[in-house]
Chain A
Amino acid sequence: MAVAPKISVGDDYREKYGFYDPEKFIFKAKKGLTEDVVREISWMKSEPEWMTKFRLRSLEIFRKKSMPNWGADLSHIDFENIFYFLRASEKQGKTWDEVPADVKRTFDRLGIPEAERKFLAGVSAQYESEVVYHSLHKELSDKGVIFLDTDSGLREHPELFKEYFGTVIPPADNKFSALNSAVWSGGSFIYVPKGVRVDIPLQAYFRINAENMGQFERTLIICDEGSFVHYIEGCTAPMYTTDSLHSAVVEIIVKKGARCRYTTIQNWSTNVYNLVTKRAVAYADATMEWVDGNLGSQVTMKYPSVYMMEPGAKGDVLSVAFAGKGQHQDAGAKMVHVAPNTTSTITSKSISKAGGRTTYRGLVKVYPQAENCKSFVKCDALLLDGESRSDTYPYNEVEAENVTLGHEATVSKVSDEQLFYLMSRGIPLAEAETMIVNGFIEPFTKELPLEYAVELNRLIQLEMEGSVG
């Protein structure tokens, strides 16, 4: 590990004199990625030194790592032409008029309240949910649950944070986890104490602030023994952003007997490269469930994974991808069986339309000592027209004894018989097709909280309009 030369005036200055002049050192949004940028991000956030070093080391790793030579086409990402850190005030520079008409129309059709719309469109950084959040906050803190943005997590719970941060996904995992480790900002930090069940889903939505849904968000969730939490990231409504790269890292630790469910509904606008690393480690008898929906973005590469570290651990991924015009959803899951008697299931549903491309890419890996494991993978793809594309690449690597592994996949179009049946009952073609698509993804929607499920169905309806004929 190279020790970065100490040239940051900021750190020193503050320590010596106990004050600094924010006007003088305010971070002017600069494009490109240099050590100075990384150092300044860290300094802006008044981070401890270990974090600054961690970021700098990650930057070095990022530079050394090559781009993935598989998966979606990433050749158009220009790392030098990206803002790696923007202050909230700078983010608010946009106006409602700049928001594209189709995004506005979708808000209309989904019936999203005015204030929320502005937030989703990136016009306002504040969404008036503070009140909801505060009452929730009290209930949670009474139980000892920590639910903060990740920056506050580092400030307020430094020891807990340091113990787990970067342990599940080290910076060297891949090029984009290294990038995130260097420039991360925002995200959620959650700790659920032993035996505590959090009954209502925790939504990033409630805990809104400027850094909530950042470009390089970093989420860390720790479920202590026997606890339960359901975390929801994103929302069904389109997230309009002018940032072209979203690269998040999500680390989850599920301890003995605990259960964690992580629901994502990703609906970035279609100019975004969404390259996310999500991984959980599950210990004895723990359960990790990823419920992962990908609707938006230009390119998504995301493979939520579960490392089953101790006997009895269980991993579950349920994912849905929808690729419309110009979109490539390269999504899937990774199940890594490290310990014996662990089980995993992956269910993937994908829909391609208007030239969109969906790819299921998954790995089931069973290490030599992990006997008596079971894993089952099921992928269903629906192609709505002749221009769209669906790929399935399931990798299975079994090195242990007495392992049962299954994989099944189907690719089809909306069946004529189903359409005929519905239409013979007086349902117009477009509506019938929408019903079939909604039925196809039902295993996914029924796992969502009601309001999300309703919105998702409505959104599919919108997406389906004009897809017939």
Chain B
Amino acid sequence: MPFTKESVEEIASLHEEPDWLRKRRREAFDVYERLDLPSKIDEEWRRVDFKGLKLDGFRSFEEPDGAAPGLPIEGAAGVLRQRGSAPGKVELDPELAAKGVVFLPLSQGAREHRDLVEKRLFSEVRADRDKFAAVHAALFSGGTLLYVPDFVEIEEPLVGQYWSSGGGAAVLPHTLIVAGKGAKFNYLDEFLSPSLDEPALTSGSAEIFLGEGAQVGYVALQKWGRHAYQFANQRVHVGKEATARLFNVTLGSRFAKVRVEANLQGPGGMAELKGIYFASEDQFFDFHTLQDHQVGQTTSDLLFKGALRGTSRTVYAGLIRIEKDSARSDAYQANRNLLLSKQAKAYSIPMLEIINNDVRCTHGATVGPIDAEHLFYLESRGIPKSVAQRMIVQGFFGEVADRIPFEQARRLVAEELEARLG
């Protein structure tokens, strides 16, 4: 069944959504119908090739297959597992629940905590951004609501795990995180599916709101199967004195178009945007990042590092924007690409728009193969070439992987990279 008004109603019913949310889905669907696919004339989409993608060829949701929920996770304070488009199952440390932490499937959250959800949902990741954002908002297949009240600190991470088991459908999870004043915690989103022949439409969007002085680490680990087309928007709203650490790891899917954005709205706010991507075979990844300094005395620091193999292609385009009144802001942006094959191609476009002089901004980008001298140095010490190459790539990612905000995610990412280098 292609995307229709009926499918919007159907998915809303599946999740027993309240009327206001149903209405919001309908509005987003109108936007979806109104908007054209992005054109190549648009700079952002100029290098994006989604030929072969038929948006109306997907089923609008994935029937739960009844299999056991996903992989075990060690040492988590709370876990939400969702398979396909069925509402997720939550386990949460009862102590946290007692402290007022809300960790629910998004639709249940919308029913029970309208005050938290209604004004925030799709306010940062707007449905009218493009056709893909609109279809996500119209047909999102569930997701998470996490609310951590003021001054609550959570030691262990919370984990959302999304599993898509079949091709041919749209699986579009949405994460909504609200951090109260001074709240401190870490969150991991994992997106998983087997590789099938049939294409799938996936997302993995997140809206994260940080109250005054909050400190939040968010890691998105994307391992969709190689049949997936991913369109995701991850955006953080950083309040006064708050610190957000966003870490995007993109490994799966055939095609990924991801925006990672920091909206700095409070003085003293700080956003760290880090990313790792490892593309091989014919994968295509496109990252657009934004460091939007809407007020002064804000800091942002971005580092995206990628390695490319096979005939893969990646695009990185980042913008630092410093508004007129955003004095005493610091912004850094760097993108490094390591080409491990001769056919891989990396485009890197780091951009600045600065309208205030009392700032410090630097950005840098590099694209290149493994430095022959580094290789020579290691080989001259008797290390075989393949091992030396592996060491160099590990070292390359090490710089950024060390900045993953918490141990569990660090280990998980290290294992993934290890497996890909093997």
Q: What is the chain B residue whose CB lies nearest that of A371?
A: B342
Further contacts, 15 of them, CB under 8 A, given A393-B349, A401-B342, A405-B368: A384-B357, A386-B327, A388-B357, A389-B354, A390-B352, A390-B353, A392-B352, A396-B347, A396-B348, A399-B345, A403-B339, A404-B368, A407-B350, A410-B361, A412-B360
Q: Which B residues touch A406, using CB under 8 A?
A: 364-366
Cβ distance A97 to chain B, nearest Cβ, rounded Å: 39
Cβ distance A370 to chain B, nearest Cβ, rounded Å: 13
Q: Which of A395, A407, A411 has the most CB of B within 10 A?
A: A411
A383: interface (CB < 8 Å): yes
Q: For the complex, what is the distance from the CA of A406 to the CA of B334, rounded to whole Å?
A: 11
Inter-chain contact B357/A413, CB cutoff 8 Å: yes
Inter-chain contact B367/A408, CB cutoff 8 Å: no
Inter-chain contact B352/A391, CB cutoff 8 Å: yes
Inter-chain contact A412/B367, CB cutoff 8 Å: no
Inter-chain contact A407/B342, CB cutoff 8 Å: no
Inter-chain contact A70/B342, CB cutoff 8 Å: no
B126: interface (CB < 8 Å): no
Q: For the complex, what is the distance from the CA of A392 to the CA of B366, rounded to whole Å?
A: 16
Cβ distance B206 to chain A, nearest Cβ, rounded Å: 28
Inter-chain contact B365/A393, CB cutoff 8 Å: no
Inter-chain contact A392/B363, CB cutoff 8 Å: yes
Q: What is the chain A residue whose CB lies nearest that of B365?
A: A407
Inter-chain contact A396/B365, CB cutoff 8 Å: yes
A427: interface (CB < 8 Å): no
Q: Which of A395, A396, A402, A405 has the most CB of B within 10 A?
A: A396
Q: Which of B352, B353, B358, B366 has the most CB of A within 10 A?
A: B352
B172: interface (CB < 8 Å): no
Contact check: which of A384, A390, A409, A411 meets B350 at CB < 8 Å? A409
Inter-chain contact B350/A386, CB cutoff 8 Å: no
Inter-chain contact B354/A383, CB cutoff 8 Å: yes
Q: For the complex, what is the distance from the CA of A352 to the CA of B354, rounded to whole Å?
A: 11
Q: What is the chain A residue whose CB lies nearest that of B370?
A: A402
Inter-chain contact A407/B348, CB cutoff 8 Å: yes
B351: interface (CB < 8 Å): yes
Number of chain B interface residues as a range: 20 to 34
Q: Which residues of A contact B (CB under 8 A)?
A: 69-70, 352, 381, 383-399, 401-413
Q: What is the chain B residue whose CB lies nearest that of A382?
A: B357
Q: Quick one: CB contact mask for B322-352 with A, threshold 8 Å, 1 for yes?
A: 0010010000000000010011011111111
Known pairs A401-B342, A405-B367; A411 contacts B352 (CB<8 A): yes
Contact check: which of A390, A399, A402, A403 meets B354 at CB < 8 Å? A390
Q: Which B residues touch A383, using CB under 8 A?
A: 354, 356-357, 359
Q: For the complex, what is the distance from the CA of A187 to the CA of B347, rounded to whole Å?
A: 38
A-B contact pairs, 21 of them (CB 8 A): A381-B352, A381-B354, A384-B357, A385-B357, A386-B324, A386-B357, A388-B355, A389-B353, A389-B355, A393-B349, A396-B347, A396-B348, A405-B366, A406-B366, A409-B361, A409-B362, A411-B352, A411-B359, A411-B362, A413-B357, A413-B358
Q: Which A residues touch B327, using CB under 8 A?
A: 386
> Could you tell me the dominant secondary structure of chain B's interface residues?
strand
Inter-chain contact B367/A396, CB cutoff 8 Å: yes
Q: Which B residues touch A392, using CB under 8 A?
A: 350-352, 363
Q: Which A residues touch B368, using CB under 8 A?
A: 403-405
Q: Which A residues touch B362, using CB under 8 A?
A: 408-411
Q: What is the chain B residue whose CB lies nearest that of A396?
A: B348
Cβ distance A356 to chain B, nearest Cβ, rounded Å: 11
Q: For the complex, what is the distance from the CA of A407 to the CA of B337, rounded to whole Å?
A: 12
Q: Which A residues touch B353, using CB under 8 A?
A: 389-391
Contact check: which of A387, A409, A412 meets B359 at CB < 8 Å? A412
B369: interface (CB < 8 Å): yes
Q: Which A residues touch B360, using CB under 8 A?
A: 411-412
Cβ distance B307 to chain A, nearest Cβ, rounded Å: 15
Known pairs A392-B352, A396-B347, A398-B346; A386 contacts B365 (CB<8 A): no
B68: interface (CB < 8 Å): no
Q: What is the chain A residue whose CB lies nearest that of B355?
A: A389
B43: interface (CB < 8 Å): yes
Q: Which A residues touch B361, using CB under 8 A?
A: 409-412
Q: Top 8 closest A-B pairs, CB basis?
A: A383-B357, A401-B342, A392-B352, A404-B368, A413-B357, A411-B361, A407-B365, A405-B367
Q: Quick one: CB contact mask for B302-334 with A, threshold 8 Å, 1 for yes?
A: 000000000000000000000010010000000
B98: interface (CB < 8 Å): no
Inter-chain contact B357/A398, CB cutoff 8 Å: no
Q: For the complex, what is the distance from the CA of A68 to the CA of B272, rounded to whole Å?
A: 35
Q: What is the chain A residue whose CB lies nearest that of B313?
A: A399
Q: Which A residues touch B358, using CB under 8 A?
A: 386, 413
B67: interface (CB < 8 Å): no
Q: Which B residues touch A387, using CB under 8 A?
A: 324
Q: What is the chain A residue whose CB lies nearest that of B371?
A: A404
B41: interface (CB < 8 Å): yes
Cβ distance B345 to chain A, nearest Cβ, rounded Å: 5
Q: Which A residues touch B347, using CB under 8 A?
A: 395-398
Q: Which B residues touch A411, using CB under 8 A?
A: 352, 354, 359-362
